């Protein structure tokens, strides 16, 4: 690509001839190296919050464990144990430009800043991060409905406690969280930042997707009280930037991850 640039000292117009110019060749920008995403293969989980941002932002990336096929789980375990100055505690994490970035909200804050998936102004950036951290709180509570006592034990070994935890989550926590997002959208809408979507909207979409999978009966009731949240969910599903991904096999199905459907834990 070429640009026109006046020669030094030729900034004053001449009455005798046109000002000479020289052609300056601009350097070609280096191709963007793909981001390496590390997350457990076979489930959407917390990794899906990152995938949605990468996909909607058209950011080149490699889903390392999934691309490794049958070796994906072993590869991820080895990489987690690799010696690093700043090791990740757990997936998801990304490797980019020599950095190791872990924790969903931290990853999304980075992507939001570097790739325009969050507002550039301080207030908007902080608000987006606040929404993401609130989503993270609810995700943790959703997980604890089926593993309320011990992370390393089976659901069946803590089923009695899970029934009690899930009852409170359905009755109190689902409406409390989603009504807060409803309030947020009522003040700004149709997106959490007003006129344009951000990574937090993508994450709210995935949160609602997970709740619909895990608690379909309860969500059928709660959805009536949060129409703006459900409208946002529908709009994200229609984003042109996500159309290919949402229809592809790259999108991991719900199953034995954070959001699990046990009929006995659901209810109106």
> Which tokens go with 143?
């997980």
Give me the pLDDT at residue 94, please: 98
Alpha-carbon torsion, ordered 98, 89, 113, 251, to 10 deg? 100
Residue 99, in any domain of the structure: no
Range(s) of the domain holding residue 144: 119-239
Cα separation, 245 vs 239, whole angstroms: 10
The whole-model pTM stands at 0.87
Peptide bond preceding 92 in cis form (omega within 30 of 0) = yes
Within-domain flag for 252: no
Q: Give tens-digit pLDDT for 182-206.
A: 999 998 889 999 999 999 999 999 9
Note whether residue 130 is domain-resident. yes
At residue 38, the 3 state secondary structure works out as: strand
The number of distinct structural domains making up the chain is 1
Please report the DSSP string for 50-113 in residue order: HHHHHHHTT--EEEHHHHTGGGHHHHHHHHHTS--SS--SSS-EEEETTEEEESHHHHHHHHHH
Query: pLDDT digits over 94-137, tens only?
Result: 999 999 999 999 999 999 999 999 999 999 999 999 999 999 99
CATH number assigned to the domain comprising residue 232: 1.20.1050.10
In a domain, 135, yes or no: yes
* Residue in the block written with tokens 């070994």: 157
CB 40 within 8 A of CB 76: yes
| Cβ proximity of 226 and 179 under 8 Å | yes
């Amino acid at each position: 690509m070429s640009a026109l640039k006046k020669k030094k000292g030729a900034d004053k117009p001449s009455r005798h001839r046109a000002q000479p110019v020289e052609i300056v060749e601009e350097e070609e920008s280096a191709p963007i190296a793909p981001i390496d995403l590390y997350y457990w293969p076979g489930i959407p989980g917390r990794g899906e919050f990152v995938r949605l941002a990468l996909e909607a932002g058209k950011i080149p990336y490699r889903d390392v464990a999934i691309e490794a096929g049958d070796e994906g789980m072993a590869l991820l375990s080895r990489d987690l144990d690799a010696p690093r100055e700043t090791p990740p505690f757990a997936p998801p994490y990304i490797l980019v430009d020599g950095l190791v970035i872990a924790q969903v909200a931290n990853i999304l804050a980075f992507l939001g800043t570097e790739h325009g998936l969050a507002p550039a102004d301080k207030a908007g950036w902080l608000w987006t991060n606040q929404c993401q951290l609130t989503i993270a709180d609810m995700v943790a509570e959703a997980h604890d409905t089926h593993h309320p006592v011990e992370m390393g034990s089976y659901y069946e070994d803590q089923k009695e406690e899970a029934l009690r935890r899930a009852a409170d989550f359905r009755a109190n926590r689902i409406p409390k969280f989603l009504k807060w997002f409803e309030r947020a959208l009522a003040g700004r809408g149709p997106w959490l930042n007003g006129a344009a979507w951000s990574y937090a909207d993508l994450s709210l979409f995935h949160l609602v997707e997970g709740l619909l999978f895990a608690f379909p009966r309860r969500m059928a009731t709660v959805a009536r009280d949060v129409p703006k949240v459900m409208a946002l969910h529908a709009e994200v599903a229609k984003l042109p930037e996500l159309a290919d991904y949402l229809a592809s096999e790259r999108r991991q199905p719900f199953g034995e991850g954070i959001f699990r459907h046990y009929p006995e834990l659901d209810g109106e």
